[in-house]
Structure 1
Amino acid sequence: MISKTFIERPKFAMVIALIITLSGLISMTLLPVSEYPEVAPPQVKVQARWPGASALVMEESVGQVIEDVVNGVEGMEYMSSNSANDGSYNLTITFGVGDDPDMALVRVQNRVKLAEPSLPAEVRAQGLTIDKISPDILFTINLYSPDGSLDELFIANYGLINIQNRLKRVPGVSDAVMFSTADYSMRLWLNPPQMTALGITTDDINAALQEQNVQAPAGKIGAPPYDGNLSTEYTLQLKGRMKSREEFENIVLRVSDQGAIVRLRDVARVELGQLDYKVSGSFRNQPATVMAVYLLPGANSLITGDAVKAQLAEMQKTFPDGLEYVVGYDTTRYVEVSISQVTTSLLQAVALVILITFVFLGDWRPTLVPSVAIPVSLIGTFAVMLVSGMTINTVTLFGLILAIGIVVDDAILVVENTDRHLHEDPDISTKDAVTRTMEEVSGPIVATTLVLLAVFLPVAMLPGITGVMYNQFAITICVAVVLSSVCALTLSPAVASLVLRRSSKQPRWYRGFNKGFEGVTHRYSSAVGYMLKRRSLVAVGFAALMALLLVGTRVIPTGFVPVEDKGVLMLNVQLPDAASITRTQNVMEKLQAIVDADPAVESATFLSGYSILAGAAQSNGGAGFLVLKHWDERPDMKDISLAVSQRLNRAAYQQVPEALVQTFPPPSIPGMGLVGGLELVVEDTQGRSHEELAGAIQTLAAAANESPLIVDAFTTFRANVPQYFIDINRNKAKTLHVPLTNIFSTLQSQLGSSYINDFSL
């Protein structure tokens, strides 16, 4: 019998328990902390830009080329793309749950490399971005100037150069992304009448810039090999890329035979601006740059959040005057509170089990045995969680809470049986009583453990996203049960042989408790006997319970995970199609006033020109991140996030009729959808037009809104955005010897934008 070894050598059992406990304690500090297990599938994103291109051009010239090559990449579940009128293209490839994101990235990069030669030169010049994306936003950072002394461009560029790169290096950070463009750009505003008068074309300007604004090596003087002896060697420098507005203005476009020079300033206005003006942010009614920090898969959100905040506090010491930062949308706050609440429940459950054990055993000595075994079993579970790649989350902690009532049984079995032998045999020693106990209960302990494993292990093998949730829950319980059995066979008999004593008299309170409990047991036995004589009544009652269970499963709302108040809300704004960004900014100012008037909202960050639901820049779109006050400051039901969302929606409907404003909670599980709720994708498999697809989607949304189970069904897909069509007379262009490429480049430069090359600042 293995237990006899530990009864004879209790220190050996304690060493094993210490190893298990220390392993668990160390693992607790290394385990990632999150709200839920990582169930979001890995994703790889491909981004391309073509300044001035429409959504249709991006779809046909860029999207179809890339998607034809990427489609079918190994491990891919599905892919979705988005082409926008701002010349951006985004392709998201989703892989299976559990797939290695690094290998998925490599496979996508290899496929995209094959498509690059077929892409337009302008797209290749801008470069393709291929990277893993983490859907788990840690928080957003608002950079703003409270006194208005710094403009948005300076703030954005400062954040890009001095803040973004440092935050990306923080352990646990996947990426730091700025919503608004932060790059300086030397913008050339062409004067078409003056260009016509001087006979200058956009191609002439492009050629002059590419010729004169270049970085070129000049070589060295005195570099070997050479004849004779030289005492010095000099590196030569040239004036390469231009740095100032004046230097660009003086670029020579043409020189006549008489020596007359046409410079860039003669046909264009040169200014230092930003790369584009599609998205603008605001915080506390001041222009702001919004930066989103994403969490690396498997990272500890709380530790990473503290590290980022510490880095920000350190960088703030060197901020220019008038610049401040505020952490806005913060997911770590809810994770910290939820994990703290579950941990409190776990400790309360442990204390309650120990208290109940003491009440039923009536002595502190037998209570000590399960009190020692419970922490060893629970803490040791964390070591296996670390090895298994799990996280500390609400699911695993709930599994530990449930396991408390299971792990205590084995230790109690050892204690009670030993106590029985001590009272029944007055001549037996404590060590012999424990030995006899283990001879009797070792088999049942192993058997009950195997039965519990047979119940929970199959649950750990469920596939899919739901299976990941059940997997961690089941593994947590199984490991705790196995460790409980190990403790029951090693630690519990060793401790019992040291602390248990034969008690001659029982405390008065314990005798009173036993008397009352015996009365309850007697009445229960009488009730069971009464029911056994009326089996038909029991059958009817059982059938009624089954009927209630069936009704409950149909009546009670069902869902994957509950929608909870996470202390934040997201906001999406959509104006009529083709609305300008100026109109969007005016709407966002009205919404700022509405949000400021709500007592439950702590702060709000707004983005004009960006749609959360579309995931792209849109002149008629807006977004907002609303941070609610702490839960302790919102005790009333009228101030929970759902009620606040409905209240803000009503206020926006009444006060901002020119826009569709929707507030909604974040997704229940990070990475599973854009917002909380249900997301459907309608796919056209018959090659119909965009207009027909839009009509089908609107019909589906209208039908869904008729259901009493759905609050609001909507779509951001639009196929009837007003546009102008330019009909070029190609025959006449050829008759006049005007190349079509010149017409296209002129349109792009005059009405859109075109990238030429870089400059130094």
Structure 2
Amino acid sequence: MAKNNNGTQLNLAGRIAAYFIDSKLTLLIIALALLAGLMAMMVTPREENPRIVVPAANIIVAKPGASPVEVEQLIVKPLEAILQGMNGVEHTHGLALDSLGVVNVQFYVGENKEDSLVKLYDRIMSNLDRLPSGARQPLIKPVDVDDVPILTISLSSDTLDDRRLRAVATDLLEELRRIEETSVSYLHGGRKRQINVGLDLERMRRYNVTLLDIRRVLEATNLDIPSGTLVNRNTVSTVTAGAFLRSAEDVRELVVALSAHRPVYLRDVAAITDGPGELDNLHRIGYGPAFQGERGGDLEAGAVTLAIAKRAGTNAVTVADNVLAELARLRPQLVPPEVKVNVTRNDGARADDAVNTLLEHLGIAIATVVALLVAFLGWRAASIVTITIPLILFITLSVGMAAGQSINRITLFALILSLGLLVDDSIVVIENIYRHYAKKGAERLNSVVQAVNEIGRPTNLATFTVIVAFLPMLWVTGMMGPYMGPIPFNVPVAMITSLAIAYTVAPWAAYRWLKPGSTHAEEHMPGWLERGYSALMTRLLQRRGARYGFVLGIVALMLAVLALPAVDGVLFRMLPKNNTNTFNVTVDMPEGTSLEETDRVVRLAGEQRAQRLGHLFRPDAGESGLFAQHFDAVFDGVGAVGVVGVDQVGGFGKHLGAQFPGNLAQLFVIRSV
């Protein structure tokens, strides 16, 4: 074991201090820590919450002509039985529609996503024989949390109909999809363009034309088939036969039959119009009294919403800002002046606000710690300990960036939680250096090394005891495991970093900044706090009765605290109540309810609260959010209303229920988002 100049044997802490106290590497470490921390602050993705990997997928099977009951018995239930026997599957959800069955399978949290999807595909393909005859090939579509839109932009107009509004939104979305780091994107609302063929049965009988004839012609002519190649003068050209139908005029000129040796055109037996498709959903945007964006003249307006998600591992703040900047550039070119544009959801801004709020609290906590250090250690010692705080935090963030962590609420909570512990090691080192400086005739370099050497073992033990206290959180299972994962990761990293900084930077700075004989808390008369503590400990050490009473008092207080949950003195919950001001109300009407009736109830639900408290609300009828990203489906009895900018969510359920009589109030499901 190494020795210092006084012949004292040095332990690990003493050897580290002896090496770095007069080394140029120490200053280099400080500079690198600051640069790495600043880079981590700028580069590390920002999110509101930690990313939780829950492998899931939708298995979609079509069986044309089958009723929902047949789909349930022949497709959904057999698929669920096949999937529930797989290793790693937590649960399944089935949905039976006309001619279509959907089974959603969710694996346990923490299961490898790629391996789970491979197992799922293999399981489905090896059991195709259990599907009924006439069923189409199963379509397996993964469900990823990163497919959830972080940004929604609603286009509305008092003059344009939903078809033209959707055309504008389609052109705009095609351009926004080109932005780097964007992922899944889709449109919500509006009717698509289609060619409508209205058959005239009387004319069809006159010309002896059947529905099958018309269908066969439409299918056969709306094709573009490769038909080989043409070589001419050393040039090879691809030859295609046929062409896609592009306009109503193309459809009108189709020959569907012959009558009296003359061609019968489709226009002779049908009315062809180029117009919107069938109305199967209604999507609007409404304005509350606190709304400050672009609004039309009416309370509500038809709308089409663009939904854009980000790629996995990217910064939600940066992606949202890039999309909005590109939207501002494209708007004069693609969006007519009469179209209003409003951002109805921006998770990037929410994440940035949440992170910035916690950064402010982190700054307040640091300032509080510094003020206490100055009050009890003196300004020289406090300045040294203060220097170590940003170094520890920057190194911790750098390690998190290298490990693929993001900056989120739980990450910053872990840093705030550990802040009071981070300065302990440096305070102990500085205090012992002061004590050695008080010895007359002591050589400064040896005094610093000897001071660190003396407290090395107990400081190591105290630090690793704190680390061990947080390690059990690594074994938390379920959804809370990855959600709370940043705490058992960042706190131990911060504690180990604080120990290393206390043995390297603190002695280096103390050797250059602290002076023997400088003013310190030990050098002036004890204050009221020291005198009170001394009197208490003297009484406890000298009187047995006082000791017993003190211990019994502590035990009684501990038992009283443990009894608080039994008397509802303390309410236990995994997470605090969500303080978000945005929520969705899902409306599940009785089976058979028309689209118009569902729309009426949904609009009333939005108006009841948004008109009183909200900024805006977005009523939808005929669409379900459960599978909306993966296939088109119409649900006449399903609707939803999203309310944005509400100050108080708590009493909304009671208020909404009071506005609807009977069992209708039980149809609402309120959920913060």
- Please indicate, yes or no, whether the TM-score normalized by the shorter chain is above 0.5: yes
> In structure 1, what is the equivalent of residue 314 of structure 2?
299
> In structure 2, what is the equivalent of residue 579 of structure 1?
593
Shift of 1:581: 0.8
Give the TM-score normalised by structure 2: 0.85
Once residues 461 and 17 of structure 1 are traced to their aligned partners in structure 2, the CA distance between those partners, rounded to angstroms, is: 34
Q: Deviations over 1:448-489 (max 9, x none)?
A: 222222222233233333232443201211001101111111
> In structure 2, what is the equivalent of residue 634 of structure 1?
none
State yes or no: 1:432 paired with 2:446: yes
> In structure 2, what is the equivalent of residue 520 of structure 1?
532
Q: Deviations over 1:313-372 (max 9, x none)?
A: 23323223133321113333433332222211111111111111111112x221122111
Q: Deviations over 1:160-202 (max 9, x none)?
A: 3x33344444444341233337643223344456545655443
Pairing of 1:89-128 with structure 2 (within 5 A): 89-112=101-124, 123=136, 128=139
Pairing of 1:80-159 with structure 2 (within 5 A): 80-85=93-98, 87-112=99-124, 123=136, 128=139, 130-134=141-145, 137-148=148-159, 150-159=160-169
Q: Deviations over 1:487-508 (max 9, x none)?
A: 111111111111110235669x
Q: Deviations over 1:17-40 (max 9, x none)?
A: 333333333223232222322235
Once residues 140 and 36 of structure 1 are traced to their aligned partners in structure 2, the CA distance between those partners, rounded to angstroms, is: 16
Q: Deviations over 1:576-603 (max 9, x none)?
A: 32121122223334344434421x2001
Conservation of the 8 A alpha-carbon contact between 2:204 and 2:210: yes
Rate the CA distance shift 1:273–1:553 in 2: closer, same or farther, 3 A.
Answer: farther
One-letter code of the match for 1:653?
F
Shift of 1:624: 1.1
> In structure 1, what is the equivalent of residue 415 of structure 2?
400
Counterpart selection for 1:211 from 207, 220, 224: 220
Shift of 1:42: 2.3
Q: Deviations over 1:84-131 (max 9, x none)?
A: 35x55433222232333344444444555567796776856xx94623
Once residues 366 and 5 of structure 1 are traced to their aligned partners in structure 2, the CA distance between those partners, rounded to angstroms, is: 20
Once residues 310 and 72 of structure 1 are traced to their aligned partners in structure 2, the CA distance between those partners, rounded to angstroms, is: 48
Pairing of 1:296-445 with structure 2 (within 5 A): 296-321=311-336, 322-362=338-378, 364-423=379-438, 425-445=439-459
State yes or no: 1:569 paired with 2:583: yes
> In structure 2, what is the equivalent of residue 495 of structure 1?
509
Q: Deviations over 1:369-398 (max 9, x none)?
A: 211111111110112212333222222211
Query: % of aligned pairs identical?
Result: 22
Once residues 545 and 275 of structure 1 are traced to their aligned partners in structure 2, the CA distance between those partners, rounded to angstroms, is: 71
Counterpart selection for 2:638 from 618, 621, 631: 621
Rate the CA distance shift 1:203–1:72 in 2: closer, same or farther, 3 A.
Answer: farther
> In structure 2, what is the equivalent of residue 255 of structure 1?
258
- Does the residue aligned with 1:601 lie in a helix, a strand or coil? coil
Once residues 159 and 172 of structure 1 are traced to their aligned partners in structure 2, the CA distance between those partners, rounded to angstroms, is: 20
- Does the residue aligned with 1:664 lie in a helix, a strand or coil? strand
Conservation of the 8 A alpha-carbon contact between 1:83 and 1:90: yes
Once residues 212 and 438 of structure 1 are traced to their aligned partners in structure 2, the CA distance between those partners, rounded to angstroms, is: 88
Pairing of 1:727-742 with structure 2 (within 5 A): none
Rate the CA distance shift 1:130–1:190 in 2: closer, same or farther, 3 A.
Answer: farther
Once residues 3 and 567 of structure 1 are traced to their aligned partners in structure 2, the CA distance between those partners, rounded to angstroms, is: 52
- Does the residue aligned with 2:500 lie in a helix, a strand or coil? helix
State yes or no: 1:640 paired with 2:645: no
Give the number of equivalent residue pairs: 639
Counterpart selection for 2:249 from 246, 251, 268: 246
One-letter code of the match for 1:280?
L
> In structure 1, what is the equivalent of residue 557 of structure 2?
545
Once residues 190 and 115 of structure 2 are traced to their aligned partners in structure 1, the CA distance between those partners, rounded to angstroms, is: 30
Rate the CA distance shift 1:537–1:388 in 2: closer, same or farther, 3 A.
Answer: same
Pairing of 1:192-211 with structure 2 (within 5 A): 192=201, 195=204, 199-211=208-220
Conservation of the 8 A alpha-carbon contact between 1:176 and 1:291: yes
Rate the CA distance shift 1:532–1:393 in 2: closer, same or farther, 3 A.
Answer: farther
> In structure 2, what is the equivalent of residue 664 of structure 1?
670
Counterpart selection for 2:282 from 277, 280, 283: 280
Once structures 1 and 2 are overlaid, which stretch shifts more, 76-85 or 43-52? 43-52
Once residues 216 and 505 of structure 1 are traced to their aligned partners in structure 2, the CA distance between those partners, rounded to angstroms, is: 92
Pairing of 1:505-516 with structure 2 (within 5 A): 511=524, 514-516=526-528
One-letter code of the match for 1:330?
N
> In structure 2, what is the equivalent of residue 270 of structure 1?
272
- Does the residue aligned with 1:299 lie in a helix, a strand or coil? coil
Once structures 1 and 2 are overlaid, which stretch shifts more, 36-45 or 67-76? 67-76
One-letter code of the match for 2:111?
D
Once residues 15 and 154 of structure 1 are traced to their aligned partners in structure 2, the CA distance between those partners, rounded to angstroms, is: 62
Please report the RMSD computed on the Cα atoms of aligned residues, expressed in angstroms: 3.4
One-letter code of the match for 1:524?
L
Once residues 51 and 281 of structure 1 are traced to their aligned partners in structure 2, the CA distance between those partners, rounded to angstroms, is: 28
Shift of 1:281: 0.6
Shift of 1:66: 5.1
> In structure 2, what is the equivalent of residue 55 of structure 1?
68
Once residues 582 and 182 of structure 1 are traced to their aligned partners in structure 2, the CA distance between those partners, rounded to angstroms, is: 16
Rate the CA distance shift 1:91–1:18 in 2: closer, same or farther, 3 A.
Answer: farther
Conservation of the 8 A alpha-carbon contact between 2:195 and 2:275: yes
Once residues 413 and 147 of structure 2 are traced to their aligned partners in structure 1, the CA distance between those partners, rounded to angstroms, is: 22
Once residues 205 and 73 of structure 1 are traced to their aligned partners in structure 2, the CA distance between those partners, rounded to angstroms, is: 47
Once residues 232 and 436 of structure 1 are traced to their aligned partners in structure 2, the CA distance between those partners, rounded to angstroms, is: 87
> In structure 2, what is the equivalent of residue 653 of structure 1?
660
Conservation of the 8 A alpha-carbon contact between 2:189 and 2:282: yes
Conservation of the 8 A alpha-carbon contact between 2:55 and 2:106: yes
Once structures 1 and 2 are overlaid, which stretch shifts more, 431-440 or 541-550? 541-550
> In structure 1, what is the equivalent of residue 16 of structure 2?
3
> In structure 1, what is the equivalent of residue 616 of structure 2?
603
Please, which runs of 5 or more residues in structure 2 have no aligned partner? Answer: 1-13, 287-299
One-letter code of the match for 1:334?
R
Once residues 163 and 539 of structure 2 are traced to their aligned partners in structure 1, the CA distance between those partners, rounded to angstroms, is: 80
Once residues 128 and 277 of structure 2 are traced to their aligned partners in structure 1, the CA distance between those partners, rounded to angstroms, is: 24
Once residues 260 and 270 of structure 1 are traced to their aligned partners in structure 2, the CA distance between those partners, rounded to angstroms, is: 21
Conservation of the 8 A alpha-carbon contact between 1:459 and 1:471: yes
Please, which runs of 5 or more residues in structure 1 have no aligned partner? Answer: 225-229, 630-638, 668-761
Conservation of the 8 A alpha-carbon contact between 2:248 and 2:274: yes
Conservation of the 8 A alpha-carbon contact between 1:396 and 1:473: yes
Give the TM-score normalised by structure 1: 0.75
